[in-house]
Amino acid sequence: MTRPLLPDPLEPVGHRRDGRPIYPILGASPENDSNKPEGDGGAAIGSVTQDDLSRLLAREKTQGGRAALKKLLGDLGFDNSEALTEFVTTKRDAEQAALTEIERREQAVEEKLKAAEAREAQAVARERAAIRRAALAGLGAIGDDLGDAILLIDRALDDQPDADEEAVAAAAEQLKGRRPELFGQTSAVTPPAPGGSPASGPPSRAGVPPKPGAAGLEMARRRGFVTG
Q: Where is average pLDDT lowest: 35-44, 54-63, 175-184?
A: 35-44
Among 42-46, 84-88, 99-103, the range scoring the smallest mean pLDDT is: 42-46
Residue 202 pLDDT:
54
Q: Whole-angstrom Cα distance, residue 24 to residue 4?
A: 16
Three-state DSSP state, 22: strand
Quick check: is 189 in a domain? no
Is 137 contained in some domain?
A: yes
Residue type, 33: D
- The residue-averaged pLDDT of 118-125 equals 90
Q: How many other CB atoms are found less than 10 A from the CB of residue 228?
A: 3
Q: What is the pLDDT of residues 125-176, one digit of tens each?
A: 888 888 889 988 888 888 888 888 889 988 888 888 788 888 899 988 998 8
Residue 3 maps to a domain: no
Q: Where is the domain boundary, 59, 76, 93? A: 76
Last residue of a domain, one of 23, 51, 76: 76
pLDDT classification of 69: cutoffs 50, 70, 90: confident
Q: Enumerate residues 6+ apart whose C-beta is below 8 A from 199.
A: 190, 191, 192, 193
| 173 is a domain residue | yes
Residue 44 has pLDDT above 50, yes or no: no
Q: Which residues of 16-44 are buried (b: 16+ CB within 10 A; e: fewer)?
A: eeeeeeeebeeeeeeeeebbbeeeeebbe
Range ranked top by mean pLDDT from 15-29, 53-67, 152-166: 152-166
Q: Which residue has the higher pLDDT, 117 or 98?
A: 117
199 within domain boundaries = no
In this structure, of 6-10, 109-113, 170-174, 192-196, the range with the lowest mean pLDDT score is 192-196
pLDDT category, 218, cuts 50, 70, 90? confident
DSSP, residue by residue, 83-143: HHHHHHHHHHHHHHHHHHHHHHHHHHHHHHHHHHHHHHHHHHHHHHHHHHHHHHHHTT--H
The residue type at 34: S
- Chain center to CA of 29: 73
pLDDT at 42: 47
Long-range contacts of 147-152 (CB under 8 A, 24+ apart): 148/182, 149/175, 149/179, 149/182, 149/183, 152/179, 152/182
pLDDT band at 82 (very low <50, low <70, confident <90, very high): confident
Residue 108: which pLDDT band, with cuts at 50, 70 and 90? confident
Measured between alpha carbons, how far is 128 from 146 in angstroms, rounded to an integer? 15
Choosing from 24, 44, 76, the residue where a domain stops is 76
In a domain, 159, yes or no: yes
Q: Name every residue whose Cβ is closer than 8 Å to that of residue 25 and which is 6 or more positions away in sequence.
A: 56
Q: Which domain holds residue 21?
A: 14-76
In whole angstroms, give the CA distance from residue 116 to residue 133: 26
Q: How many domains does the chain have?
A: 2
**Is 221 within a domain?**
no
Q: Which amino acid is at 212?
A: P
pLDDT at 113: 92
Residue 194 lies in a domain: no
Q: What is the pLDDT of residue 117?
A: 92
